Amino acid sequence: MDWRAKVELFEQIRREYEFGVGTIAGVAQKLGVHRRMVREAIGSALPKPRKKTERPRWKLQAAVDFVDAVLESDRKASRKQRHTSHRIWERIQHELPDCQIGERTVRQYVHQRKIVLGMLVRETCVPQSYAWGVEAQVDWYEAYAATKPLNVTPEEKEKLAMLARRPKSAQAFAMRARIVLACAEG
């Protein structure tokens, strides 16, 4: 049973115990769970995390030094030149033929080691996107134009003003719109 489903079951058990049947045995019988689980749910709203035993990796022990050496050399290489887990597994097959190990085992070990070595740092980017006219950034500027006034309609003038304030537009495009707007105003 996954964590979220178990939390919901605990909530249901607690409600049934408090507002429904009222006994541990009655709640266990009604919901089809063990009395031990009912006692656990009454004691805490969150279930205990499942115990995970660490098993010895006796097949991996022969390749640990090799994998660590490869990952250490990858720290000095550029990001595009680093070994993938699959490539490390292939190298183990060729360079350590006595070590019969599964690719998934190598992949899991490489992933854990990359986290420990700090090689799996991910940058998070939150893109900001705004609809036209919802948000605007206004740049205060002074523009001098030595040209004669242009014939620009009020609709076109408003469109150019929107482009000048729009944060998503490219800088060059916005600058051109500001120059045309300044020329239109005279």
Domain-ending residue, one of 117, 146, 166: 117
8, pLDDT greater than 60? yes
Distance (Å, whole) CA 183 – CA 186: 5
pLDDT at 86: 93
User: pLDDT tens across 9-66, in order?
Assistant: 888 898 888 888 788 899 998 989 999 999 998 888 888 888 888 888 888 888 899 9
- 144 plus 186 within the same structural domain: yes
How large a percentage of the chain has pLDDT more than 90? 18
User: pLDDT tens across 98-129, in order?
Assistant: 888 999 999 999 999 988 888 877 766 666 66
Distances (CA, A) of 180 to 54, 107, 151, 168: 69, 58, 11, 19
CA angle 49, 52, 56 (to 5 degrees): 165
User: pLDDT tens across 129-156, in order?
Assistant: 655 555 555 555 444 444 556 676 666 6
For residue 131, is it within any domain?
no
- 143 plus 107 within the same structural domain: no
Burial class (CB in 10 A: 0-12, 13-18, 19+), 36: exposed
For residue 34, is it within any domain?
yes
Q: The dihedral of CA 92, 96, 97, 98: what is its sign? A: negative
For residue 175, is it within any domain?
yes
Residue located via tokens 């097959």 = 93
Q: How many CA atoms lie within 13 A of 155 on its CB side?
A: 0
